[in-house]
Amino acid sequence: MSPPPLMPSLTILLPYLAFPHQTPKPWVVLSMAGTPGHPIFLLLLLCAVGQVSPYSTHWKPTWPAYRLPVVLPQSTFNLAKPDFGAEAKLEVSSSCGPQCHKGTPLPTYEEAKQYLSYETLYANGSRTETQVGIYVLRSGEGQPSGKSRRKRQIYGYDSRFSIFGKDFLLNYPFSTSVKLSTGCTGTLVAEKHVLTAAHCIHDGKTYVKGTQKLRVGFLKPKFKDGRGANDSRSALPEKMKFQWIRVKRTHVPKGWIKGNANDIGMDYDYALLELKKPHKRKFMKIGVSPPAKQLPGGRIHFSGYDNDRPGNLVYRFCDVQDETYDLLYQQCDAQPGASGSGVYVRMWKRQQQKWERKIIGIFSGHQWVDVNGSPQDFNVAVRITPLKYAQICYWIKGNYVDCREG
């Protein structure tokens, strides 16, 4: 395979920060050459703009506007075939809680490039690594120049809802939830793409068993006598079954692979699967995760295939308890098997004047957290930050021009 075109130089293009009443100024070019330790927070600072004030009389929880960065491939090279020897893990655990993560310095520019570089696994078992560059462009601009884990994750009364009946299961948004053959959940985010957790296919060292022949399952009605769902003689389906589609290739960020041993990996526990053929269902777009205080009711939603309710799609919602730049801490009831579920919210989209659901995170797993000397447990979701959005969108679209709106 031929690698993507190389970028000519390690340069970030930064827009001049003009006041709203002034005419925008020309581009300012800041070379990163010779400054490998330049902090990434400057890049992150430039990504969030246009926040909506909650004090308006007619305020609606509105999707914020962002000036998004661009994550572009720089070079691609072949890797040796993996052995696919890891056991599938339906959840991950970490002892590094909110305060621990908040105390971790933001990555430098060079570190961010390493974490957002990625591995691609193909159906024939071949594997490549792609190194990336990070850029910030003005909207509409042309090409850039250069402790122990316990089984239960139920908090008090079990507030999960099993979704029954094809009228619900086959309709949006529940129809966007799919099951991976490794046991996890995924979410349809494009015509041929599924977003899930990285640990569902890779343990941080190698790929899990079955990943080379990875399949994605779609629930559909199972009728007696071979009658189809559109057959007027059909009675109610006796049960649902999975229809499977093979995966063509997978993308896993190097932040998960490189950082898995030191809790940094939890921030990058996401992966994208490309199917061999379109699934022909409505999908849910990804979006940049707003701050928890801007979420409607401070609440998130997700559906998954919890393994204590085999064959059932399980929906839940709950309040966000805490957050870091990369993670959302909540106590949504969940069991192994729900990992990889897309965490979504429904907010007002000002441009189209309509309500829209978007995936803002990926349910990852469970954490024990030391809160004032007392252990407390949370379920954790990986937030889709501007950089992660840019990366995942590029994986889906194959170009950055279609990834300007987060």
Catalytic residue from among 101, 193, 199, 251: 199
Burial class (CB in 10 A: 0-12, 13-18, 19+), 126: middle
Higher per-residue pLDDT: 119 or 352:
119
Higher per-residue pLDDT: 120 or 375:
120
Q: Residue 308's CB: how many other CB atoms inside 10 A?
A: 16
Range of the domain at 343: 69-135+165-223+237-397
Number of domains in the chain: 1
Convert 112-141 into a string of H (helix), E (strand) and C (coil): HHHHHCEEEEECCCCEEEEEEEEEECCCCC
User: How many angstroms from the chain centroid is the CA of residue 44?
Assistant: 18
Catalytic residue from among 38, 263, 308, 370: 263
pLDDT of residue 258: 77
Catalytic residue from among 339, 341, 364, 366: 339
Mean pLDDT of 87-99: 73
CATH code: domain of residue 283: 2.40.10.120
Residue 61 lies in a domain: no
What tokens were used for 211? 């990943």
The sign of the dihedral angle between the CA atoms of 22, 26, 32, 34 is negative
What tokens were used for 47? 């990504």
Residue 32 lies in a domain: no
56 part of the active site: no
- pLDDT digit string (tens) for 116-166? 999 999 999 999 999 999 988 754 444 433 333 344 455 455 555 665 666
Residue 77 clears pLDDT 90, i.e. is over it: yes
263 part of the active site: yes
Residue 364 lies in a domain: yes
Residue 147 lies in a domain: no
How many percent of the chain have pLDDT more than 90?
A: 40
Contact 275, 123 (CB under 8 A): no
Residue 62 lies in a domain: no
Residue 151 lies in a domain: no
Residue 60 lies in a domain: no
Residue 26 lies in a domain: no
pLDDT of residue 107: 86
